[in-house]
Structure 1
Amino acid sequence: MSDIYSRVSNYITEHKMLEEDDRILAAVSGGADSMCMLDLLIRFCAGHGHKLGVVHVDHGFRTESASEAAYVEQFCRERDIPFYLEKIIPGSIPNSEESARIRRYELISETAVKNGYTRIALAHNMQDRAETILFNMFRGTGISGMCGIRPVRDEFIRPIMCLDRREIETYLETAGIKFCTDRTNLTDEYSRNRIRHHILPEAEGINDGSIRHMNETAEDVSAVCDLISGLASDAYSDTVRSVSGEEYLIDVSRFSALHPVIRDEVIRMILHHMTPHLKDISREHISGVEDLACRNSNARFDLPYGIRAYRSYENICIRKPEERSKEEAESLPEGGIRVDLTGLKPGGEPLKIRTDASSEVIFSLTEAADSAAAAEMITDCDYAKCFDYDKINKLLDIRYRLEDDHLIIDAGGHVKKLARYMIESKIPEYMRDRIPVIADGSEVIWIAGYRDSYAYRIDDSTTRILKIQITDSNTKGENDG
Structure 2
Amino acid sequence: MYEKIRAYVREHGMLEEQDTVIAGISGGADSVCLLCVLLMLKREYGLRLFAIHVNHGLRGEEADADEAFVEELCRRENVPLDVVRVDVARLAREEGLSGEEAGRLARRRAFEEAASRHGAGKIALAHHRNDNAETVLLHLARGTGLRGLGGIRPVTGRYIRPLLAVSREEIEQFLAEKNRTYCMDSTNSEDTYTRNRIRNHIIPYMEEAVNTKVVDHVCETARQMSLLWDYMDRQRAQAAKEAVRFLPGKSGRALEIDGDAYRRTDPAVRPYLLSWALEQTCGRAKDLETVHLEQVDALFGRQVGRRSALPCGMTARRTYAGVQLQDADFEEPDGPGADRVRMRVLEASGIRGPLEASIPKTPYTKWFDYDIIKDSVIIRTYRPGDYITVSRSGGTKKLNRYFIDEKIPAGRRGQILLAADGNHIMWVIGYRQGCGYEVTAQTERILEITVEEPGM
SS state of the match for residue 18, structure 1?
Answer: coil
* Matches of 1:225 and 1:248, distance apart in 2: 24
Q: Alpha carbon RMSD of aligned pairs, Å? A: 2.8
* Aligned-pair CA distance for 1:91: 6.0
Aligned equivalent of 2:204 = 201
* Matches of 1:359 and 1:13, distance apart in 2: 50
Contact 1:59 1:100 in 2 (8 A): yes
Contact 1:142 1:283 in 2 (8 A): no
1:50 aligns with 2:47: yes
Contact 1:121 1:159 in 2 (8 A): yes
Contact 1:112 1:118 in 2 (8 A): yes
Given the superposition, is the C-alpha separation of residues 37 and 302 from structure 1 closer, same or farther in structure 2, using an over 3 Å criterion?
A: farther
1:234 aligns with 2:238: yes
Aligned equivalent of 1:256 = 263
* Aligned-pair CA distance for 1:269: 2.5
Aligned equivalent of 1:85 = 83
Aligned equivalent of 2:326 = 319
Matched ranges for 1:82-481 at <5 A? 82-89=80-87, 92-94=90-92, 96-205=99-208, 206-244=210-248, 246-278=253-285, 280-322=287-329
* Matches of 1:246 and 1:91, distance apart in 2: 32
What is the one-letter code of the residue matched to 1:249? E
Contact 1:139 1:282 in 2 (8 A): no
Contact 2:281 2:325 in 1 (8 A): no
Segment of structure 1 superposing worse, 191-200 or 276-285: 276-285
Contact 1:37 1:123 in 2 (8 A): yes
* Aligned-pair CA distance for 1:295: 4.1
What is the one-letter code of the residue matched to 1:70? A
1:21 aligns with 2:18: yes
* Aligned-pair CA distance for 1:262: 1.6
* Matches of 1:234 and 1:145, distance apart in 2: 21
Segment of structure 1 superposing worse, 76-85 or 206-215: 206-215
Structure showing greater radius of gyration is 1
Given the superposition, is the C-alpha separation of residues 32 and 286 from structure 1 closer, same or farther in structure 2, using an over 3 Å criterion?
A: farther
* Aligned-pair CA distance for 1:79: 0.9
What is the one-letter code of the residue matched to 1:55? I
1:68 aligns with 2:66: yes
Contact 1:57 1:85 in 2 (8 A): yes
Given the superposition, is the C-alpha separation of residues 306 and 382 from structure 1 closer, same or farther in structure 2, using an over 3 Å criterion?
A: closer
Higher RCO, Cα 8 Å, sep 6+: 2
Segment of structure 1 superposing worse, 82-91 or 303-312: 303-312
What is the one-letter code of the residue matched to 2:111? I
* Matches of 2:224 and 2:337, distance apart in 1: 55
Runs (5+) with no aligned partner, structure 1:
329-357, 361-379, 384-470, 473-481
What is the one-letter code of the residue matched to 1:65? A
- Between the two proteins, the alignment pairs up a number of residues equal to 331
* Aligned-pair CA distance for 1:88: 0.9
Matched ranges for 1:23-38 at <5 A? 23-38=20-35
Aligned equivalent of 1:464 = none
* Matches of 1:133 and 1:282, distance apart in 2: 18
Contact 1:140 1:282 in 2 (8 A): no
* Matches of 1:147 and 1:359, distance apart in 2: 43
The alignment's TM-score, normalised by the length of structure 1, stands at: 0.63
* Matches of 1:307 and 1:91, distance apart in 2: 30
* Matches of 2:65 and 2:231, distance apart in 1: 46
Given the superposition, is the C-alpha separation of residues 359 and 55 from structure 1 closer, same or farther in structure 2, using an over 3 Å criterion?
A: closer
The percent of aligned pairs where both chains have the same amino acid is: 34
Given the superposition, is the C-alpha separation of residues 54 and 263 from structure 1 closer, same or farther in structure 2, using an over 3 Å criterion?
A: same
Given the superposition, is the C-alpha separation of residues 147 and 300 from structure 1 closer, same or farther in structure 2, using an over 3 Å criterion?
A: farther
Segment of structure 1 superposing worse, 213-222 or 265-274: 265-274
* Matches of 1:381 and 1:309, distance apart in 2: 25
* Aligned-pair CA distance for 1:256: 2.3
* Aligned-pair CA distance for 1:274: 3.3
* Aligned-pair CA distance for 1:298: 4.9
| Residue deviations 1:113-152 (CA, integer Å, cap 9, x gap) | 1112110001111121122222222222221111111110
| Residue deviations 1:327-352 (CA, integer Å, cap 9, x gap) | x9xxxxxxxxxxxxxxxxxxxxxxxx
The alignment's TM-score, normalised by the length of structure 2, stands at: 0.67
SS state of the match for residue 164, structure 2?
Answer: coil
SS state of the match for residue 318, structure 1?
Answer: strand
What is the one-letter code of the residue matched to 1:208? T
